[in-house]
Structures are given as C-alpha cells and as structure tokens.
Amino acid sequence: MRNEYAADLGLTEADLAVDWHTQFGRWFADAVAFGLPEPNAMVLGTADPAGRPSGRTVLLKGYDPQGLVLFTNHLSRKGVEASANPYASLVFPWFPMQRQVVVAGRITPVDRATTEAYFASRPRGSQLGAWASPQSAVVSGRAALEERYQQAAERFAEQTEIPAPPHWGGLRVQPESVEFWQGRAGRLHDRLRFRRLDEGGWTVERLAP
C-alpha cells in the first residue's frame, strides 16, 4: 500500500518559528483546525534499564518551553520505565495532514501541585478509574476491574472532591530534539530538526528523508 504525498506542500527553514515550542504551537493549531480526531494523541516510547523498548498512545495535556506533559500511573509499565531509564520519544502522527512531529528528550516528574490541579479537572469517572486500575498489571478479568471501580466509587461516595492517588502524576518530556516532518512527493520529505546544543541554545538542521 502506498499513497503519494502532495507536491505543493513543503517546509523550508524560512517557514520555521524562532523556537520549537512556537513552531509546535502553529502545527498543533493547524491539526485542531483540520479536525483531526484527538490531535493531542501521541505515541510515547520508553525503554527499561536493559534497553528493551515499549510504546503506547497517550494524550498530551500541556506544553511550554520546558517540555511536553502527560499524566499516568507511576506504577504502570511506562511509569516504571520512565523512572528507571528517564528518556523518551514522542511522535505525533498527523497523517491526514502529511505531517509528523518527533520529540526526544529527558523525562522529569511534574510537581505535585500541577498533578493535583490537573486531576481535579478530570471527569469523576476518570478520577475513580485512576484509583481503581492497577495499570499494566495482570487482572483476572473484566469483572475484577469493574469490582475495583465500584469499590472506589463507594470509598469516595461522600466526597465531592476526589484526591489524586499518590502513585499517579505528571511526566514532562524535556526536548533535546524536536523534528518537524512534512511529506513531499517522491518521498523527498522535508525534515527540519531543532536540536539542543551542549553549550546551550538550539540549532536547526535539515535531515535527509
């Protein structure tokens, strides 16, 4: 299966914003305006201490010059790997727009106040799910999971506000590189990468497709 990319699209160095997060904001706004389903969905790649990788789709919940933020159960596979080997990749696969954004960088936890503020904004059902699900652990069946959910609902039945579980929180991927990928005809795609320099600051590089 093969789709030819449009010949009239492109990404030049002159098109780029002055920094990666401004450029990301532009493309993210384009993805929202395009009507992509869940444009904040991204593939998170982590690895265990032996270097064995794993990946999954998660949701971006915020970004700023310091990095891109997601939230998770710290006892899940990604949470454990992020703690043991604190580096990750992120891929935003905006295929209908013939675009991708690829991020690589170090993982750091967000502060507890940020976690609690975000958790308070979640629907109650999602809050109960965070308490009920031993994410990534083997469970005996769907019934066992639903029983845990019911137990959580009963536990917090009298509480208007449900606190964030102690094992749940935010992770920030602090970019060391951010690549903006635009599909082009003949597979001569445009790939422009912001790369953090060891001495500070950033450089922009064009990568061969």
**Residues noted as catalytic:** 187
Q: Is residue 71 annotated as involved in ligand binding? A: yes
| First and final C-alpha spacing in the chain | 19
Q: Is residue 151 annotated as involved in ligand binding? A: no
Q: Whose CA is closest to 98, among 34, 176, 193?
A: 34
Q: Is residue 181 annotated as involved in ligand binding? A: yes
Residue indicated by tokens 């998770």:
72
Q: Is residue 136 annotated as involved in ligand binding? A: yes
Distance, in Å, from the CA atom of 139 to the CA atom of 148, rounded to the nearest integer, reads 11
Q: Is residue 171 annotated as involved in ligand binding? A: no
Residue indicated by tokens 């019934």:
143
Q: Is residue 5 annotated as involved in ligand binding? A: no
Phi-psi region of 136 (alpha: psi -120 to 50; beta: other; left: phi over 0): left
Q: Is residue 196 annotated as involved in ligand binding? A: no
Contact 115, 61 (CB under 8 A): no
Residues of the binding site for FMN: 56-61, 71-72, 77-78, 100, 135-136, 181, 191
Residues of the binding site: 56-61, 71-72, 77-78, 100, 118, 122, 126, 135-136, 181, 187-189, 191
Residues of the binding site for substrate: 61, 118, 122, 126, 187-189
